[in-house]
Amino acid sequence: MKKNSTAKILTGLLIMLPIAAYFLTGLLRSLNDKVGFNTSMLDVIGTYDFFMNTTLQNKALIVVLTLVFIGFMFTKMRGASGYKIDDSHGVHGTSRWGKVQELLDKEAIAEDSKVYKDPVKTITNIEEGIILGKVPNKDELVILHNDTIVDNKNVFLIGASGSGKGQAFVYNNIVNNKTKSQIITDPKGELFYSTHQLKRDEGFEVYQIDFMNLDQARYNPLDYVYKDKDAKKIAEAIAKNSSKDGKEDFFFSTARDLLTGLIIYCKSINPKANIPIDVKGEFYKVSEDENYLAELCEEIGR
């Protein structure tokens, strides 16, 4: 309890002390002299004379009862002035930070999580899973293993630029994922150059898609077109990224619908069709020859 809170309580009790003593004296006078209680309380001089002239036993009784009352009030006021935890019965909710041992008991985190001075020994011996952090004051990691009881394994990581998100979380979990496929966004290319050889040594097929260097690995978005709506999604993305002002006017809609139709047509005649050769090739033909567009529409209509 803070000092200023104690001082306030004592000040209040000092004010209550004479009031409580006077109240008890008036009550005892009304019982002893057969006087009404209201009369005793309003007759200040008479009640004071009663206290001064009463027996020693009555005086002792008044003093003891007054002290008991003041002590009771002090206890109540002191208990109410401090912070009280009410989570045992859920008045303010029952949520709290979990303890590492509780997570271990519930099999939420891995048991094999010891950290050694040799990082190779550490990564070889710890259990596979998502490394969330380090146990305070212990050479152990908190790892959300693959068979955890936790339903949602999503991790939301927030940190300013240069705060250590990559070093503390991303690199560790790329390395500690030893069996599952990974899709990693890597704008700077640092993650690829730091970990690709290690993952290849572990048996992974590692590909880097770099839109600034098209000689690297790449993918064909048309491989994921199975229905007409899939073609429309790709056409929508291309059209929006090609619009400088972001407006979706008549020309935007026309270009999007034309591109959607060309994608569907190319996939129908060639399941392995791609955008650079097949779709763009048809687009150039349509742009240069109106008759070709009419012939194409007639062929699609069949």
Q: Dihedral of the CA atoms 38, 44, 47, 52 (nearest 10)? A: 170
End-to-end C-alpha distance for the chain, whole angstroms: 88
Structure tokens at 14: 């000092």
Instruction: Identify the pLDDT of residue 10.
Output: 79
CA distance 17 to 14: 5
Instruction: Identify the pLDDT of residue 184.
Output: 94
Quick one: which of 168, 165, 149 has its CA closest to 157? 165
Helix (H) or strand (E) run with residue 237 in it: helix 228-242
Cβ within 8 Å of residue 155, ≥6 positions away: 130, 132, 169
Q: Are 226 and 238 in contact (CB under 8 A)?
A: no
Structure tokens at 255: 């270009």
Quick one: which of 234, 238, 241, 200 has its CA closest to 217? 200
Summarize pLDDT for 248-279 with one digit per residue, the tens.
Answer: 777 788 888 889 999 999 999 999 999 989 99
Average pLDDT score over residue span 106-115: 88
Instruction: Kindly tell me if the per-residue pLDDT of 212 is higher than 90.
Output: no
CA distance 58 to 28: 8
Instruction: Identify the pLDDT of residue 204.
Output: 95
Summarize pLDDT for 12-52 with one digit per residue, the tens.
Answer: 778 888 888 888 888 888 888 777 878 878 888 888 888 88
Cβ within 8 Å of residue 39, ≥6 positions away: 30
Q: How confident is the model at residue 87 (pLDDT cuts 50, 70, 90)?
A: low
CA distance 282 to 294: 13
Q: What is the pTM of this model?
A: 0.54
